[in-house]
A and B are shown apart, each in its own frame.
Chain A
Amino acid sequence: MADSLIDLQYEIRERYVSRREFIRRATALGLSLPTAVAFLESCGGSQPSTPGRAIKMGALVPLTGFLAVLGPAMKNNAQLAVDDVNGHGGVIGSQIQLLFEDTASDPNTAVQKAKKLINDDKVDLIIGTLSSAERWAVALSATNPAKAIFINPTYYEGGICNRYFFNVGAVPNQQIEPFIPWLMENKKAKTFFLGGSDYAWPHGSFAAVKSAVTKASGQIVGEEYSPLGSTDFSGTLRKMQAAKADVVYPLYAGGDGITFLKQFVSFGLHKTSLAASTALSELIIGALPVQDSTGWVASFEYFMTIDTPENKDFVQRYQAKFGSDAIMDSIGEGMRTCVDLYANGVQKAGSLDKEKVMDGMKAAQFPDPKGTIHIDGTSQCAYLNDYIAVVAPPGTGPAWQRFKIAKTFTEVKPVQTCLDRPPG
């Protein structure tokens, strides 16, 4: 702390800093959290700071390809977060420059673009990637060998352990460990049927679900995987009917999830089983059968309906900037957390030196629309709140507003097993 104050004074002596800017910086350093929040909210104008070297931040988002539907929210959130930081004069006098690259929803392209950002554009860090394939590929083939900082915003099955890799998305235990006991208690659920797309993330999540269910003396009555792009789930649905599970837990990728849930309703299963999932998000709810989805349950580290002043303000500003029908889910919002993690790491380190910034990120603690963020030193993942939302009956507003937060579990510790290759 003292070091930073000395640096600050040195800086002031060396370069002209306006009195207002000085006060702003001094209050920024070493404040406790509530005051930090109050400070951030009160900060208005964009007084340009004395320029330091610009921070180059590479962002990998899917703008084309089958994941493209999630791209805009990721891009917008990164942009808004960077604008916020820059609007406050940047961080330690440096403005952040965002460089977006399209992964084309393809891991090969993601790796190429990551290498481009690192080798040609000389970025200070990379944030982003959506699918696990992209994430592992970028980490193992690009950022780890190049010792480049890589911050991931998306929930995934966990496993990437490398000192240059930071993760602010939920790992399965954070979404699932509080979720299962809550379901069993509040929704009288004892039996579970698991249905998912046949690839790593559903397998990984279901492993966590099975362990949580058995630990709580529940029972798994079925587990079935379907190929990606399936259009007919009647076989699986008949098995679910026969099993008469209390909870049906669907984890199908993207559009398949919508197809499954529509057919789930068409078979009348929604009357006898509850749909609960860690894949039911703002981007899907709009396309689901409106009446019949009432009562379904979801668990994520972020919802647009989180009922705190910070989040409400954030959502308002987001929609003011990107349109009143602009929506995001936890993946999009995670990009903001990536930006803020880095900015706070730099702030704490007082320098742009990579090693110091990494130490700074590990020690950082800062406010975010989804709660207070700080990093767990062992896993380099974030402590995250787990929000359990129940879908309310349709109202007059947009579909995302139907997610009513029923329970918040604060600061769930991330637990993951390290792997040096991605899971099969």
Chain B
Amino acid sequence: MTLAGRHPARLGLGLLGIGILILALVPTFASSYYTSVLGEALAFSIFAISLDLMWGISGVLSFGHAAFFGIGAYAFGLLTQDLSGGSATYIAVIAALVIPGLFGAGLGYFTFFSGVSGPYFAIITLTVALILGQAATSFPHFTGGLNGLYTTGLVFQVPGGEIDLSDVVTLYYVALVLTVLILFGAIGLVRMPFGQALVAAGESETRAASLGYNTALLKTAMLAVSGAIAGLAGALYAPMASFINPDVVGLTLSTNVIIWVALGGRGVLVGGVVGALIIAFLSSYLSGSVGHAWLLTLGVLLLLVVLFRPSGLLGTRAIRRIVGSA
């Protein structure tokens, strides 16, 4: 009998529930600094879920995924610049979902439909991230360049009131709610026929194609979804950081998210969440004089995980079964 007993799903859900509860209580005992750090980590965990949908579930590694995150963040930032009230925030959020989603669809069409996959896809996405990073820096009258776009003092209108997007605690809870919703939504997506087909394609593309699945179309659709989710994460991040700069589209963030998913657990969606939360938190906590030693440790950890436990912390068979990716 495995640890989970007869009802692994219930145990998993139980543990998840405890985790969410602890996260919900954080603002009550943590300082505003750590609340804001964890809030940003939650935005990053949504980003990690979006990467895992492509990588762990569909078997496609995007090495420039921050492109989507960044497009979402910049779309949100640009549309809330001349803010006149809550309504602009609505449109900005929708834009942050739609524009990266369309970009993902376009990129997918450009690559998957001509058989580009695997390492070539990774290199192309790497290059795209570099291009966007350079463009964001060099067209400052549009993007604010290195000095960035400011997203302070925002307010989000909902029926029955307003959500103050400049308050740390409010943002934290918005992030937490969104993370939980997207996590369950993503798990649901994986368990649907659409997701199951992609799991099959991720395991063996030829086999899935021989069964009649249009793998290119499936992957493109998933890239669009993944892009939209990443864009939403970017839009959430914007008011938290209170300004956006080219780092949100760059190589560093793209590789960081890969590290979170790789360490936290690939293919289980919740792994990326755990990875992002733990690492983002530790990175803030340990910055300063131990900063370089910390990064070195992270590199060593990544190497060890890749060599000896490639599925990451939570990427176990049992959890994959629960999620539906195995």
A–B direct contact (CB < 8 Å): yes
- Of the listed stretches B143-151, B154-162, B304-312, chain A binds B143-151
Q: A48 an interface residue at 8 Å Cβ cutoff?
A: no
**CB proximity of B77 to chain A, nearest CB, Å:** 12
Q: B241 an interface residue at 8 Å Cβ cutoff?
A: yes
* 132-170 of chain A: CB within 8 A of chain B: 132-133, 136-137, 140-141, 145
Q: A104-B287, A112-B36, A422-B148 are in contact. Are A198 and B138 (CB under 8 A)?
A: yes
Roughly how many angstroms separate A165 CA and B137 CA in the complex, as a whole number?
26
Is B150 a contact partner of A133 (Cβ separation < 8 A)? Answer: no
Roughly how many angstroms separate A423 CA and B145 CA in the complex, as a whole number?
9
Roughly how many angstroms separate A199 CA and B292 CA in the complex, as a whole number?
27
Is A108 a contact partner of B150 (Cβ separation < 8 A)? Answer: no
Q: A63-B291, A112-B36, A119-B32 are in contact. Are A200 and B243 (CB under 8 A)?
A: no
Q: A386 an interface residue at 8 Å Cβ cutoff?
A: no
Q: Which residues of A contact B145 (CB under 8 A)?
A: 199-200, 424
Q: A301 an interface residue at 8 Å Cβ cutoff?
A: no
Q: A115 an interface residue at 8 Å Cβ cutoff?
A: yes
Nearest chain-B residue to A159 (Cβ)?
B147
Q: A64-B291, A112-B36 are in contact. Are A133 and B148 (CB under 8 A)?
A: yes
Task: Find A109's partner among B31, B287, B295 (CB 8 Å cutoff).
Answer: B287
Q: Which residues of B contact A227 (CB under 8 A)?
A: 134, 137-138
Q: Which residues of A contact B37 (CB under 8 A)?
A: 112
Is A107 a contact partner of B245 (Cβ separation < 8 A)? Answer: yes
Q: A13 an interface residue at 8 Å Cβ cutoff?
A: no
Nearest chain-A residue to B138 (Cβ)?
A198
Q: Which residues of A contact B111 (CB under 8 A)?
A: none
Q: A64-B291, A107-B148, A136-B148 are in contact. Are A112 and B284 (CB under 8 A)?
A: yes
Roughly how many angstroms separate A423 CA and B241 CA in the complex, as a whole number?
19
**CB proximity of B72 to chain A, nearest CB, Å:** 16
Which of B137, B146, B242, B247 has most chain A Cβ within 10 Å? Answer: B146
Roughly how many angstroms separate A111 CA and B244 CA in the complex, as a whole number?
12
**CB proximity of B209 to chain A, nearest CB, Å:** 41
Nearest chain-B residue to A203 (Cβ)?
B140
Is B288 a contact partner of A108 (Cβ separation < 8 A)? Answer: no
* 27-67 of chain B: CB within 8 A of chain A: 31-33, 36-37, 40
Is B288 a contact partner of A136 (Cβ separation < 8 A)? Answer: no
Is A102 a contact partner of B287 (Cβ separation < 8 A)? Answer: yes
Q: Which residues of B contact A107 (CB under 8 A)?
A: 148, 243, 245
* 211-243 of chain A: CB within 8 A of chain B: 227-228
Nearest chain-B residue to A75 (Cβ)?
B289
**CB proximity of A94 to chain B, nearest CB, Å:** 25
Q: Which residues of B contact A124 (CB under 8 A)?
A: none
Roughly how many angstroms separate A140 CA and B62 CA in the complex, as a whole number?
34
Q: B141 an interface residue at 8 Å Cβ cutoff?
A: yes
Roughly how many angstroms separate A421 CA and B243 CA in the complex, as a whole number?
11
Q: A106 an interface residue at 8 Å Cβ cutoff?
A: yes
**CB proximity of B33 to chain A, nearest CB, Å:** 4
Is B242 a contact partner of A424 (Cβ separation < 8 A)? Answer: no
**CB proximity of B28 to chain A, nearest CB, Å:** 15
* 62-111 of chain A: CB within 8 A of chain B: 63-65, 100-102, 104, 106-109, 111
Nearest chain-B residue to A119 (Cβ)?
B32
Roughly how many angstroms separate A288 CA and B36 CA in the complex, as a whole number?
43
Roughly how many angstroms separate A113 CA and B243 CA in the complex, as a whole number?
14
Is A140 a contact partner of B247 (Cβ separation < 8 A)? Answer: no
**CB proximity of B249 to chain A, nearest CB, Å:** 13
Which of B33, B140, B241, B245 has most chain A Cβ within 10 Å? Answer: B33
Q: B316 an interface residue at 8 Å Cβ cutoff?
A: no
Q: A120 an interface residue at 8 Å Cβ cutoff?
A: yes
Roughly how many angstroms separate A100 CA and B291 CA in the complex, as a whole number?
14
Q: Which residues of B contact A120 (CB under 8 A)?
A: 31-33
Roughly how many angstroms separate A131 CA and B137 CA in the complex, as a whole number?
14
Q: B196 an interface residue at 8 Å Cβ cutoff?
A: no
Q: A107-B245, A116-B33 are in contact. Are A140 and B150 (CB under 8 A)?
A: yes
Nearest chain-A residue to B252 (Cβ)?
A106
Nearest chain-B residue to A228 (Cβ)?
B137
Q: B117 an interface residue at 8 Å Cβ cutoff?
A: no
Q: A108-B247, A137-B243 are in contact. Are A423 and B147 (CB under 8 A)?
A: yes
Is A63 a contact partner of B243 (Cβ separation < 8 A)? Answer: no
Is A198 a contact partner of B284 (Cβ separation < 8 A)? Answer: no
* 239-256 of chain B: CB within 8 A of chain A: 241-243, 245, 247
Nearest chain-B residue to A201 (Cβ)?
B146
Is A141 a contact partner of B33 (Cβ separation < 8 A)? Answer: no
* 365-394 of chain A: CB within 8 A of chain B: none
Roughly how many angstroms separate A402 CA and B209 CA in the complex, as a whole number?
70
Q: Which residues of A contact B150 (CB under 8 A)?
A: 140-141, 421
Is A145 a contact partner of B152 (Cβ separation < 8 A)? Answer: yes
Task: Find A102's partner among B32, B142, B288 (CB 8 Å cutoff).
Answer: B288
Nearest chain-B residue to A100 (Cβ)?
B288
Q: Which residues of A contact B137 (CB under 8 A)?
A: 198-199, 227-228
Is B33 a contact partner of A64 (Cβ separation < 8 A)? Answer: no
Roughly how many angstroms separate A52 CA and B291 CA in the complex, as a whole number?
35
Q: A64-B287, A64-B288, A108-B245 are in contact. Are A132 and B146 (CB under 8 A)?
A: yes
15 further interface pairs, Cβ-Cβ under 8 Å (given A116-B33, A137-B148): A64-B295, A100-B288, A104-B287, A108-B243, A108-B247, A140-B243, A141-B152, A141-B243, A199-B145, A200-B140, A227-B134, A228-B137, A421-B144, A422-B144, A423-B140
Chain A residues near B (Cβ < 8 Å): 63-65, 100-102, 104, 106-109, 111-113, 115-116, 119-120, 131-133, 136-137, 140-141, 145, 198-200, 227-228, 421-424
Question: Can you report 12 residue pairs joining A to B where beta carbons are below 8 Å apart?
Answer: A63-B289, A107-B245, A108-B243, A108-B247, A111-B241, A112-B36, A112-B284, A113-B33, A119-B33, A198-B138, A199-B145, A227-B134
- Which 4 residue pairs of A and B lie closest in terms of their CB atoms, listed nearest first? A424-B140, A64-B291, A422-B147, A116-B33
